Chain A
């Protein structure tokens, strides 16, 4: 890994059209300004990793076909319970 030291307002060029500039340093946080063509996606690494992890989880979470049938009931029951709770609360107020 190439390691470079940069001061505030100094930058690093990657290729001809990607610039990464240090725009702020506060405690242990470094704020970076990134200028790149729109065709280059820029993301915080943890966002990518988080989504990757969730995708893998989603793919493993057995899509239990027979269970999916009951989703409808769960929603209906959930809504009904919520409705009942709300009504009880409203009546309590009056």
Chain B
């Protein structure tokens, strides 16, 4: 099918590349079909383009690229809605905000996108915890991840302490 995307022009998108939001994303009730645009020069980020609204494009990323200890608790309800059973793991992406100063990039860890890749369904979950915010600094995440990695490498012999 042909899809017009403001940023990318007219694109040919195969039906099997479309992911359907079982609940529309808060703020965007008119878009339920999305697809990804991946380009090597923006990896690990990718664009998530609405197939319903040409102007609607998000930048998304797999959270573990930057946040090593991100473990959102996924409710059975969320899993059920996207057609996954108990114990099945959704594929998780988070939405990124890119301000003018890119070092101030943030990711929304409170509203992760949970995907059922097989059935090509997804939804934005709401993580009811104070632990994660909608605006987590990506640079800080990289620093913490790097720190954890270095600590791991140093092999101090100490049991890993719980990082907050």
Contacts and interface: CB of A to CB of B under 8 A. Distances in A.
Contact of B42 (A38, A39, A68, A86): A68
B147 to A, nearest CB: 8
Given A48-B26, A55-B95, A61-B97, A39 B77 contact: yes
A82 B144 CA distance: 10
Contacts of A33: none
B148 interface: no
Interface string A11-39: 00000000000000000000000000011
Interface in B132-149: 134-135, 139, 142-143, 146
B92 interface: no
Main secondary structure of the interface of A (DSSP, over half): helix
B35 interface: no
A70 interface: yes
Interface stretch (B10-18, B103-111, B114-122, B156-164): B103-111
B124 interface: yes
B42 A69 contact: yes
Contact of B28 (A50, A55, A82): A55
A89 interface: no
A75 B58 contact: no
B25 A55 contact: yes
Given A52-B27, A74-B102, A79-B142, A47 B126 contact: yes
B28 A63 contact: no
Interface string A53-79: 111111101111101111100110011
Most-contacted residue by chain B among A43, A59, A61, A62 (CB, 10 A): A59
Contacts of A53: 27, 134
Contacts of A71: 42, 45, 102, 105
23 contacts: A39-B77, A41-B77, A41-B126, A43-B126, A44-B128, A50-B134, A51-B124, A51-B134, A53-B27, A54-B95, A54-B108, A55-B95, A55-B111, A58-B59, A58-B96, A59-B28, A61-B98, A68-B45, A71-B105, A74-B139, A75-B142, A78-B142, A79-B142
